[in-house]
Structure 1
Amino acid sequence: MKLSIVAMVLSFLSHATAVPAGNDLEKRDSTPFKLVAYGVASSYIDIFFSDGLAYAGDASLWEAEGNVVTDVTFIIQNTELNTTATPVSKLDAGTLLYIRPVENEVLSVGFTKNGHDTPSDAATSNFIFYGTYLMWEESSGTLSSSFRLLPMNVSGIYQLFYDYSNLYPSGYAIPVIKSVNV
């Protein structure tokens, strides 16, 4: 319970925080890392790829549900989160993570390429890290980290969404998305 409350407080503090670019923000080096979600389990859970969308949990539990399911590691280049899948052969080279920052919508987070159409409103750049916390920077300089997790029909598996307007829909968990070294 304590971990969940801490994660919720950190999540609340990170939503739509106005921080001038370059002020206490450090560039992450190009060392591969995983994205993980805190706040829905006793420990962090991995973000993984399944049929073009982002999920959180143990990918091996979801394999029967998707055609292509793979754990993903990332490198950040020019504010884009480039994937390096495990194994690499499961994803096209240059696959990027995207969010859909659309007013008054809670939309799925996904990946470009791999035989799936990328929505026209997808944002693949302007990702930054505040320490290890994943944030997205709007053109105005406002930072947000409004990720949501929706439980799926397999216990411990969640689909990842982005809640640009901070609607806080019922049924969704509010995680903190961070990077961890691999």
Structure 2
Amino acid sequence: MKLAIFAMVLTWISSAVAAPAGGEIGKRNPSGEFKLVAYGVASSYIDVFFSDGLAYAGDSSLWKQEGNVVTDVTFTMKNTELVTTATTPGVTLDASTLFYIRPTSNEVLPVGFTENGTKTPSDAVTDSFIFYGTYLMWEQTGGALSDSFRLKPTNISGVYQLYYDYSNTYPSGYLLPVVKSKDV
């Protein structure tokens, strides 16, 4: 766990050093299409992708045999929601497919997507997402920010399932990525 926290701190420091002259990273929302990527668990960033209504990170082509519907995705920001579009040829998602987290106290729960045929959990939240610089955050009622994403290795090397740890319980077996936007 100490190594994972150290990797996360290094990622944050390197991003701060790369901040534009003039100082701090400001609140902003990306315009146009972008990808979500996870840093801190591989030598480079890894893409967030869609599989059967859940969010994963890594090389989606390695996961094709594990999921029924697997696609790379891009996002657009609409108000405070992340609208999701499939980019893999032959795969289509509803135009209203949204990225969600499940900010439930003392539980580490899967991150996913709303879409046809997939039952969205009752505790799923699809709005109040913001970015600080390129860092994805969720803004709680009252203005507190949270970015408690976790990755759990799957049975396929280099592919991880994305989770949200609202209470920062830091359970064993999970990695601590930094989730950011990346221009397409």
TM-score under structure 1 length normalisation: 0.87
Percent sequence identity is 69
Aligned residues: 171
Deviations 1:121-151 (A, max 9, x none): 1010000000000000001100010000000
Deviations 1:7-42 (A, max 9, x none): 4116889xxxxxxxxx96433243100000001100
Tell me the residue number matched to 2:18: none
Tell me the residue number matched to 2:124: 122
* CA distance in 2: counterparts of 1:176 and 1:10, whole angstroms: 11
Which structure exhibits the higher relative contact order, with contacts defined as CA atoms closer than 8 Å and separated by 6 or more residues? Answer: 1
Alpha-carbon spacing, 1:163–1:48, altered in 2? closer, same or farther (3 Å): same
Contact 1:134 1:179 in 2 (8 A): yes
Structure 2: which 5+ runs fail to align?
14-23
Tell me the residue number matched to 1:17: none
Contact 1:11 1:175 in 2 (8 A): no
TM-score under structure 2 length normalisation: 0.87
Q: How does 1:7-22 map to 2 (within 5 A)?
A: 7-9=7-9
Contact 2:4 2:176 in 1 (8 A): no
Tell me the residue number matched to 1:28: 29
Tell me the residue number matched to 1:84: 85
After superposition, the CA RMSD in angstroms is 2.1
Equivalent position amino acid for 2:101 in 1: I
Structure 1: which 5+ runs fail to align?
14-22
Deviations 1:145-164 (A, max 9, x none): 00000000000000000000
Q: Pick from 125, 141, 144: which aligns with 2:146?
A: 144
* CA distance in 2: counterparts of 1:123 and 1:78, whole angstroms: 14
Tell me the residue number matched to 2:165: 163
* CA distance in 1: counterparts of 2:131 and 2:76, whole angstroms: 12
Contact 2:11 2:40 in 1 (8 A): no
Tell me the residue number matched to 1:51: 52
